């Protein structure tokens, strides 16, 4: 089953793309709640290149790596990737004064679908806030 989340960012496409693909930016927005943070991020933005983000609870009680391999990249338009036996895609749809960012991914089986959707949506909302605040 696939899940899709999206947001609209009031910023130019170049700024949106850069914030989504730059490790220092990723570490600022890649969290679903204030009690989590991303402590490390790497990006090798090319087909076959790998990415990883280390996400941890701020109290140190839990952490995990979100990692995968890029399978298709169309600059300022599309990023497709695999992570484990799952896949995801990020679409960047430029408008006249904003960019719609749509993330679609294969659901996992450990957590309820709605919980997964809410978590990924919260991260995407943080992304939009980060980009708009740093123009």
Q: CATH number of the domain that 87 lies in?
A: 3.30.530.20
Q: Is residue 56 part of a domain?
A: no
| pLDDT at site 65 | 95
Q: Is residue 66 part of a domain?
A: no
Query: What is the domain count for the chain?
Result: 1
CB 32 within 8 A of CB 123: yes
DSSP letter at 116? H
Q: How confident is the model at residue 43 (pLDDT cuts 50, 70, 90)?
A: very high
Q: Is residue 12 part of a domain?
A: yes
DSSP per-residue codes, 76-99: TTEEEEEETTEEEEEEEEE-SS-E
Evaluate if residue 120 carries a pLDDT over 90: yes
CB-CB neighbours of 124 under 10 Å: 21
Task: List pLDDT tens digits, range 55-113.
Answer: 999 999 999 999 999 999 999 999 999 999 999 999 999 999 999 999 999 999 999 99
Q: Is residue 30 part of a domain?
A: yes
Evaluate if residue 116 carries a pLDDT over 90: yes
Q: Is residue 22 part of a domain?
A: yes
What integer best gives the mean pLDDT of the chain?
97
Residues of the chain with pLDDT > 70, as a percent, come to 100
Task: For residue 90, give its domain range.
Answer: 2-34+72-133
Q: Is residue 29 part of a domain?
A: yes
């Amino acid at each position: 089953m696939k899940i899709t989340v999206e947001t609209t960012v009031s910023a130019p496409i170049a700024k949106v793309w850069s914030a989504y693909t730059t490790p220092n930016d990723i570490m600022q927005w890649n969290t679903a709640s204030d009690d989590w943070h991303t402590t490390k991020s790497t990006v090798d933005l090319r087909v076959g290149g790998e990415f990883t983000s280390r996400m941890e609870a701020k109290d140190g009680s839990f952490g995990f790596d979100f990692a995968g391999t890029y399978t298709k990249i169309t600059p300022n338009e599309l990023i497709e990737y695999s992570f484990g036996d799952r896949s995801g895609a990020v679409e960047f749809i430029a408008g006249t004064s904003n960019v719609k960012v749509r993330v679609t991914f294969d659901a996992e089986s450990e957590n309820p679908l709605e919980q997964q959707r809410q978590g990924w949506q919260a991260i995407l909302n943080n992304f939009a806030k980060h980009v708009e605040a740093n123009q």
